[in-house]
Chain A
Amino acid sequence: MNYQQTEIPDYNFAYLDEQTKRMIRRALLKAVAIPGYQVPFAGREMPMPYGWGTGGVQVTAAVIGPEDTLKVIDQGSDDTTNAVSIRKFFARTAGVETTEKTADADIIQTRHRIPEHPLREDQILVYQVPIPEPLRFLEPRETETRKMHALEEYGLMHVKLYEDIARHGHIATTYAYPALINDRYMMDPSPIPKFDNPKMDMMPALQLFGAGREKRIYALPPYTKVKSLDFEDHPFVIQSWEDVCGLCGAKDTFLDEVILDDQGNRMFVCSDSDHCNERQAKGHRGPQNRDDSLTEEVAL
């Protein structure tokens, strides 16, 4: 390990001391060896609050090297405040290069999204996880849920899906949609929209999940099977939009709704800002982004 001088001289490279990083790496190795299994680890207090990405930050700190380039997104975007704050943290404590381009990043730390741009084998995706236990809202007790995982007793999760269909005609879980990993462990994919679940399946990149407050780490090694829960006659489906991205015209991305005024006018834009910018640079245009007709369409 190269102990590079950081911008904050009183702290070690990437903030955590080397012993702590080794402890986290051991947990990561175990997590990779048992895909989807939640490994307890002695999470440290970090200088940002619990629930704001302390798990992801610790995982990133444990795997990042001085030569790596880091991208941080929150809600798919690089410039939301928490993403900015975490990116600055690593720029200061590790002196690493940062980027907003998915393709240029070695490590991508994310909250609530998977980038639209497909990831490669040489990339690592680090998720920030608030509640790692997919069974938590059915069974609050850790001692019980551990037993349920150990014995593969996941029937209760299907009871919830059954109730959704009986009541609404379809499964009403839209994010943090549970998935079965490698035909064995039930996993919470963190609060990403179910739109992103299929991207996890057989992904070439290594996916690491850190839950700081709950002190759990789990992982999906490259090319791991991820099966979103469903019924044979009510198969898993992802969200779709009637609209396209107002800026780049994309039809196949996750769209955020933007309220334009208090008259109920709104438009949709890609939640992945890098992907949207890339498309616009290539000349793609959405309905609210044509130089001629803009003023009118926005004012609708």
Chain B
Amino acid sequence: MSRDSNILLSIRDLTMMYGSRIGCQDVCFDLWPGEVLGIVGESGSGKSTLLNCISAQLEPSEGQVSYNTRIEGMKEVYQMSEPERRLLMRTDWAFVHQSPRDGLRMNVSAGANVGERLMAIGNRHYGDIRQSAENWLGKVEIESDRLDDLPSTFSGGMQQRLQIARNLVTGPRLVFMDEPTGGLDVSVQAKLLDLLRSLVRDLGLSVIIVTHDLAVARLLSNRLMVMQRGRIVEQGLTDQVLDDPQHAYTQLLVSSILQT
């Protein structure tokens, strides 16, 4: 119990089947506070399915997802009532989608996008909400005079930064990211990665990040899991896995990066 009480998220025997097809199978791991866990693998390897199962968006066929809640300690996410689960998802958790369009309301202003989570948890002071929104735009390097502009007038990189601000405004402890730099130019990617790295460090966030890009994984994550055909084939410290891959599939992944 004393050891477990530090664990933030615990995954046991997680399996997701689509009919007879495997989404992911027998996944077990723990996540510790402040830890950044990367999940890598090629497309179709089951990493997005796994992320959706863990983040309470897709109920798995089998297995448990337990989260160390602030008040009640470890609780199984899929045993929670729906209101409880949804509250968790919009307060203590955050989800950064690959496409900002999936994570933003495109028809309301940047300020309202950031303020929505605050209003959803009962903040009813316009001035305070606006102030927080402005502060968060600053943190993600968006000029404060864009506060009342629609996200559709933003560049792709700005939209992604806005999505991050919108997610972090309620001070979540756990952030899920699905290819957060996926749709961006290389130069914009680098800037966003820098920003993410400093936010994660400054706020002490725990992160599970799914990416097919090993460079992104190396830059952000402390620990790495490699997925192939729905299974975890190798895991360990990021540098260890990438510099000295043990599994044949990981070796192939790493060498294919080196060659290109």
Contact = CB atoms under 8 A, between A and B. Distances in A.
Direct contact of A and B (CB under 8 A): yes
Interface of A: 151-153, 155-156, 158-159, 162-163, 165-167, 230-234
Interface stretch (B17-25, B122-130, B177-185, B236-244): B122-130
B145 to A, nearest CB: 13
B153 to A, nearest CB: 15
B126 A151 contact: no
19 contacts: A151-B83, A151-B86, A155-B116, A155-B117, A155-B120, A156-B120, A158-B124, A159-B116, A159-B119, A162-B115, A162-B119, A163-B112, A166-B109, A166-B111, A166-B130, A166-B147, A167-B109, A230-B124, A233-B126
B140 to A, nearest CB: 19
Contacts of B116: 155-156, 159
Contact of B148 (A155, A166, A230): A166
B75 interface: no
B127 A163 contact: no
Given A167-B148, A233-B125, A159 B82 contact: no
A162 B129 contact: yes
Give the interface size class of chain B.
20 to 34
**Interface majority SS on B: helix, strand, loop or mixed?**
helix
Contact of B126 (A152, A155, A162): A162
Contacts of A163: 108-109, 112
Contacts of B105: 159
Given A163-B112, A166-B109, A153 B120 contact: yes
Nearest to A157: B119
A162 B120 contact: no
B150 to A, nearest CB: 10
- Which of A162, A165, A231 has most chain B Cβ within 10 Å? A162
A231 B86 contact: no
A159 B108 contact: yes
B200 to A, nearest CB: 26
Contacts of A165: 126
A153 B130 contact: no
A232 B121 CA distance: 15
Given A151-B83, A159-B105, A166-B130, A231 B120 contact: no
